[in-house]
Structure 1
Amino acid sequence: MDKLVAQFPKQIADAIEIASRSDFSFYKNKAFQNVVICGMGGSGIGGKMVSQLFENQASLPIILTQSYEVPGFVNEHTLVIGSSYSGNTEETLAAVEMAKQKGATIVGVSSGGDLAQFCKDNHYDFVKLPGGNPPRSMLAFSAVQLINILSKARIIDANAIDTFAKCRHLLNEELISIKDEAKKLAKHLYGKQCIFYADSDLEFVAIRARQQINENSKRLCWHHVIPEMNHNELVGWAGGDNAFAAVFFVSQFMSDRNKKRTELSQEIIGKKTKHVLSIHGKGKSIIEESFYFIHIIDWASLFLADQMDIDPVEVRVIDYLKSTLDKA
């Protein structure tokens, strides 16, 4: 897993190369009214990232669905993107099948599997990703393809993918500081209950942190966003103590009001636990900053797993669940 995390900057370049070779027909003579991205787990986080990063730029709503169904509004004017790294995620396959029945335009993104066959059988556009790796390690590949699809459909800026190329340079330039921050984060989380907070515009960063600590470090944790957590969870910190470790991903691009809310939240939580850590973003855009945060998170999850003498790749409980469902 450490090799895959180390390759994250290169994966961005490789993903852009795949996007440059992708030839689509789905958008020709087609005017969409909304977009639905179907994806779970390590595949779904790319959809969450894209829907949040481009929601203010997009010309129409972009929705992520993580279930067996698509929303009721899906029809012939909807672009549905099925994102499943393995191509065999049952929830995603059920969702795109429902989208087909509703007459939606469908594009598939996977390394193969049943989703690839579904797209071939129904003459849908399809993007093939390199296979054989854990889905959570292939975020760059899925996110870049989603951006490319939305760009080709004229839903977001045609040059949106160019910003992702700059992320690679930032991650390479900041590698030493990224690993230093990751080691600090892993030490902060060791032996404690983890809680991640981020500005609402970067909720996907906090979700990524939760997912990576769950899967790579085999630890329970949760996340919340500012300002919403100020209306509920902050009160719950009355029961907090030093068994809890709070982490704030502090964006350069958050609003002045949310900056103040973050500072006050840290002050209040700091009265209940001495374990409060702030990680400040770097980068010239919110996209660059989000990749900076994610690279820190990914490394930290491996460092924490190493401290706990845990195999970060192993996900036997998920394999058991899937095999049992297949027999049901």
Structure 2
Amino acid sequence: MTLPSNTDTDDMHSLVRAFPRLLESDPLEEAMLRACTDLRHDGLHGICLLGMGGSSIANQYTVSLLQSRTKTPVLSIHDYSIPEYVDHNYVMIAVSYSGNTEETLAAHREAVRRGSPTFCVTSGGALSRESRHLLSLPEGLPPRAALPLILAKVLPLTEALCNLQLTDLKTVGLKLEEMVKSWDSQWRPPEDTAGDLLGRIPVFMGADHLVPVAYRAKCQTNENAKTEAFFSTIPEANHNEIEGFTSGRAKLLCPVILRSGIGREENDRRIKTTTEVLENLGYRPLILRAVGDSMIEEMLSLTHYLDAVTLAWADLRGVDPIDVSRITLLKDKIHRG
């Protein structure tokens, strides 16, 4: 797939605007579908999705989307190793945008040694040379901006391995383009939301399928806006984290609560109660209600909007969202020993 002609890979704003169109990736090739069918017939015990950082977000979205649709275990792994119980009956999908992520390479090589079939999603690097089944990505993007491209590979591939109907991502992308037109009325202009967050530390909270969206928002705040951010999950936060919110920090911390219209009623009840408790402590939670007719529409509409918020926040702070010099410095120091 080639990027839309008006997409500037050196401009994160341009890449975020292209988000819906980037979902419209090439469909799985017939050879990939046959490989998935053969693996199912050989006896598929589970699927491991390997990845780190921005390259792994699509894996987390895929796990969340499929856990209620398949009995096949689908795991997301962010480490140098894979669980001991993973053997040749598990399929690996290794995702590294650069193709050189050392943790992903190590886990992939361990899977190969155990005889696991592997698929690799990458734009090049060592991973592309080690893959039997290669799903190529266009080069030149920051990994986090490649989320829609990676999801358009990982989700249908995993669905095919699980013998599920493939999600129509083209239609989802078209709906996202329409949703952008109603951002200001559905939520607020991204610049206004960013202004509310300026000088505060967000704690993104989500339940059910919005948990990975909260995590993505935290990561995008870190990398784009170059500021602190955290995330938490409902209901788990009700059993520990709620005690850490004190009235003395109400001006510093900003709970950003992501609410679904189709999630579990129990979790929605918990979110309402959590909001009330935080308000009574003096916090001003920011409530963002997801829009869409399905889990994937809710997830991606909020993701797209929050990506735009973090870019507006970067503009307000006068920082370059493309720059990741500290990540680069850390990697260089590790490699030099």
Instruction: Give the TM-score category using the shorter length.
Output: over 0.9
Within 1, Cα distance between the matches of 2:264 and 2:238? 15
State which of 294, 297, 304 in structure 1 corresponds to 2:306. Answer: 297
Which amino acid is the alignment partner of residue 291 of structure 1? L
Within 2, Cα distance between the matches of 1:266 and 1:62? 32
Residues 190-237 of structure 1: per-residue CA shift (max 9 Å, x gap):
100110101133210000000000000011111111111111111111
Please give the secondary structure, in 1, of the residue aligned with 2:67.
coil
Spell out the pairing of 1:124-163 with structure 2 (5 A cutoff): 124-153=132-161, 155-158=162-165, 160-162=166-168
State which of 1, 8, 20 in structure 2 corresponds to 1:9. Answer: 20
Structure 1 residue 181: Cα displacement: 4.5
Q: Aligned Cα RMSD in Å?
A: 1.4
Please give the secondary structure, in 1, of the residue aligned with 2:135.
strand
Provide structure 1 residue ranges, at least 5 long, that are not aligned to the other structure.
none
Asked if residue 196 in structure 1 is aligned to residue 207 in structure 2, the reply is no
Please give the secondary structure, in 1, of the residue aligned with 2:47.
strand
Give the aligned partner of residue 91 of structure 1.
103
Residues 92-125 of structure 1: per-residue CA shift (max 9 Å, x gap):
0000000011111111000011000111xxxx11
Within 2, Cα distance between the matches of 1:192 and 1:85? 32
Give the aligned partner of residue 292 of structure 2.
283
Note if contact 1:249-1:281 (Cα within 8 Å) is conserved in structure 2.
Answer: yes
Within 2, Cα distance between the matches of 1:201 and 1:276? 20
The number of residue pairs the alignment matches comes to 318
Spell out the pairing of 1:41-190 with structure 2 (5 A cutoff): 41-119=53-131, 124-153=132-161, 155-158=162-165, 160-162=166-168, 164-178=169-183, 180-190=188-198
The normalised TM-score by structure 1 is 0.93
Give the aligned partner of residue 212 of structure 1.
220
Structure 1 residue 156: Cα displacement: 4.7
Please give the secondary structure, in 2, of the residue aligned with 1:306.
helix
Residues 256-298 of structure 1: per-residue CA shift (max 9 Å, x gap):
2211111111111112334211011111101111010000110
Structure 1 residue 182: Cα displacement: 2.4
Identity score, percent: 29
Residues 151-178 of structure 1: per-residue CA shift (max 9 Å, x gap):
332x0513x321x222212221121333
Asked if residue 249 in structure 1 is aligned to residue 255 in structure 2, the reply is no
Note if contact 1:242-1:272 (Cα within 8 Å) is conserved in structure 2.
Answer: no
Give the aligned partner of residue 327 of structure 2.
318
Give the aligned partner of residue 8 of structure 2.
none
Please give the secondary structure, in 1, of the residue aligned with 2:55.
helix
Note if contact 2:23-2:151 (Cα within 8 Å) is conserved in structure 1.
Answer: no
Give the aligned partner of residue 234 of structure 2.
226
The normalised TM-score by structure 2 is 0.91
Runs of 4+ in 1 over 6 A off after TM superposition: none
Relative to structure 1, is the Cα distance of residues 285 and 156 closer, same or farther in structure 2, using a 3 angstrom cutoff? farther
